[in-house]
Structure 1
């Protein structure tokens, strides 16, 4: 596994920086954690274990796990939060340069859209501008519920 010290995604995966609730799920090639930014409780980050900055750099193994993993996490977030929509989008820039790719799985509630008078990418931008990060205790409670939900899924 490539590991780049100073890359937030790598630092979180390696445990050099903590994320509320800790690691949620891991596959052979991917890790799921709760988002550390201001996108609300229930927003997940799905990122390759390896430091990858372009989707085109994914291995066959990484690629084959990605779709099913994103679907599984979106379904779990939907089941636990009953959102109006779940956004799944790729983010990969850090300070204007390509960074460790990660997929954001964000439950969007009507109150999110109404509170910011926005939807889609504009909603995410407004949430970042507002800078209101979720209470770490609420994130930890959500993560525990998500782990229980994932464990209860049929194999």
Structure 2
């Protein structure tokens, strides 16, 4: 299964040329992904975050390997805003958070990597438990290393798929 990337290379070929990429490996199914793909468009993939940012946190990433927002094609760019709004609405419907954070992450080991937008539901319990908000909350959650269980992720992803239609 090859998704077209720059110059006709598949995502797997393109990521391999860059020394490997977890985002591409997850997209291609080379690494187990609890919940699987939540949504896939022609240009974007939505899947549950594999990091410690809590259940219902999803990643919206280009289907092809992209390191800089400036590298997005016109089609990818035109899909991005409406997709982030749609995914944020689904996360809001399913998780009923106080706020939904949407932020760009793009570094892996201190080096620019495959861009991905993190869509994270945040509730009052999160704010109280970690005594933080915004980027400080994400850092605190990362340091706590709480990873939701696979069964919980599967349930949330099913509900998100239903909300996204």
How many residue pairs get aligned? The number is: 151
Distance 1:74 1:150 in 2: 10
Kindly state the Cα deviation for residue 20 of structure 1 after the two structures are TM-superposed.
0.6
Query: Which residue of structure 2 lines up, in the alignment, with residue 32 of structure 1?
Result: 46
Out of 113, 129, 135, the residue aligned to residue 121 of structure 1 is: 135
- Say if 2:94 is the partner of 1:80: yes
Stretch moving more, 2-11 or 112-121: 2-11
Query: Which residue of structure 1 lines up, in the alignment, with residue 61 of structure 2?
Result: 47
Distance 1:145 1:94 in 2: 30
1:1-155 alignment to 2 at 5 Å?
Answer: 1-2=4-5, 3=11, 4-5=15-16, 6-151=20-165
Kindly state the Cα deviation for residue 73 of structure 1 after the two structures are TM-superposed.
0.3
Runs of 4+ in 1 over 3 A off after TM superposition: none
Three-state SS of the structure 2 residue aligned to 1:20 is coil
Three-state SS of the structure 2 residue aligned to 1:24 is strand
Distance 2:105 2:24 in 1: 15
Structure 2's unaligned 5+ residue stretches are: 6-10
Kindly state the Cα deviation for residue 16 of structure 1 after the two structures are TM-superposed.
0.2
| Cα-Cα RMSD | 0.7
Distance 1:148 1:77 in 2: 11
Kindly state the Cα deviation for residue 19 of structure 1 after the two structures are TM-superposed.
1.1
Structure 1's unaligned 5+ residue stretches are: none
Distance 1:133 1:29 in 2: 28
Distance 2:32 2:47 in 1: 10
Q: TM-score w.r.t. structure 1 length? A: 0.95
